[in-house]
A and B are shown apart, each in its own frame.
Chain A
Amino acid sequence: MTSSAPKPPRGHFSILYFASAGSFTGRDSESLPAPLPLSKLFSELETRHPGFKAKILDSSLVTVNLDYVDVPGEGEEGPVIQEGDEVAIIPPVSSG
């Protein structure tokens, strides 16, 4: 797994899948269309990778440009993921 995503194409953001998130999706990263409200991120990912939410996302944290964010519920107000942003799915860590 690489630890830096390739730069996303115009009008996209990149999303990185670490550990179990990478195993589930079968890839380290992908590019998704931007802008995207953060509140719609999980439903967008679930559409692309059925089962992803219950199996991985519900027990993972999310970063946008290296900062942890709270993912708002569907329909709630919240930040918007912008073109060129780097989003990451962070499953429970296990260093040491």
Chain B
Amino acid sequence: MTDTKHDDTNTIWHLSEQGCYVALTHDHLDLQQAIDRVRSPAAGAIVLFAGTTRDNFAGKPVKELQYTAYNKLALRTMLSICKDVQAKHGLKGISMIHRLGTVPIGEESILIAVSSPHRQAAWRAGEEALEACKERVEVWKREEFEGEEGVWRANRDGAVGQKVES
């Protein structure tokens, strides 16, 4: 992973702690790597969630998405979510990686992989981690449309974001 190519050198891009790995990156997301980070001989299941960028919002064509983050805080929140979910479901490992910058339609913007001794816990943990991420992690999505100004989206209400004049 090339970790320090866009922002200044103080920007952090990943954190890890006891079976938890969280990262932000401007690169394409690597599904195999997300899975390998949680692989364990004690696990009988790995569940991988891949969120991909959709080509429309409520039927309106979207050209591409732009993601931005408060890296330091977003990674801290991601790690806190992963530790909570890991403890609650007895996971062997969990990884959560979010892409930033321009993400073309149809590509992965987020990966979450979890491993556990049995499949039920892995399914549940994967969903809980994703929902907590969407609710709390300090990452923002801007939808760019053809021929008009982009819109900052809010997960909170699923409503159309407000256009903001600069």
Distance to closest chain B CB from A85 (angstroms): 14
**Are A91 and B133 within 8 A (Cβ)?**
no
Distance to closest chain A CB from B110 (angstroms): 5
A93-B138, A95-B155 in contact; A3/B133 too (CB < 8 A)?
A: no
Name the B residues within 8 Å of A96 (CB-CB). 51, 109-110, 130, 133-134, 141, 155
Segment at the A interface, from B29-37, B40-48, B63-71, B116-124:
B63-71
**Are A92 and B109 within 8 A (Cβ)?**
no
Question: How many cross-chain pairs have Cβ atoms below 8 Å apart between A and B?
Answer: 97
Distance to closest chain B CB from A88 (angstroms): 6
Q: Which of B70, B98, B135 has the most CB of A within 10 A?
A: B70
**Are B133 and A18 within 8 A (Cβ)?**
no
Name the A residues within 8 Å of B109 (CB-CB). 96
A38 contacts B by Cβ under 8 Å: no
Q: From DSSP, what is the main secondary structure of chain B's interface residues?
A: mixed
**Are A18 and B138 within 8 A (Cβ)?**
yes
Distance to closest chain B CB from A52 (angstroms): 10
Q: Which 6 A-B residue pairs are closest in the complex by CB-CB distance?
A: A92-B154, A95-B139, A19-B140, A3-B71, A23-B164, A94-B141
Interface positions of A (Cβ within 8 A of B) = 1-4, 16, 18-20, 22-26, 55-56, 63, 66, 88, 90-96
Q: Given contacts A1-B68, A24-B166, A94-B140, list 7 more A-B pairs with CB under 8 A.
A: A3-B70, A18-B140, A20-B162, A92-B155, A93-B138, A95-B74, A95-B133
Interface positions of B (Cβ within 8 A of A) = 7-8, 10-11, 51, 67-74, 76, 98, 109-110, 130, 133-142, 152-157, 161-162, 164-166
